[in-house]
Amino acid sequence: MTEPLSPQPLPALALEGLSQRTLEEHYKLYREYVNRANELRVRLAALDRATPPAPLSRDLGQILADLTGTLNAIRNHEL
């Protein structure tokens, strides 16, 4: 399995119009997305690929859909 994802550090930047609390809440949400992506990657690696395709396909499809959305959210927060 690959290394777990790690959140980038919260930059000590002040953004005009955003309070420090807002930035901290935004960073907290970002960390939750990173943790969720790591959980999904573990589930993906744990799938038994020797099982018949139908149940595997359903589980695989759901995990991949969730992982795609989560990785997109991470990327959005890193921009």
Q: Which of 7, 16, 17 is nearest to 70 (CA)?
A: 7
Report pLDDT for 8: 85
Task: Report, as ranges of residue numbers, the positions in the chain whose pLDDT lies below 50.
Answer: none
Predicted TM-score of the model (pTM): 0.78
How far is it, in rounded angstroms, from Cα 67 to Cα 75? 12
Would you state the structure tokens that stand for residue 65, as one six-digit string?
């859909």
Q: Which of 4, 11, 6 is nearest to 26 (CA)?
A: 11
Report pLDDT for 35: 96
Q: Which of 63, 71, 65, 72 is nearest to 44 (CA)?
A: 63
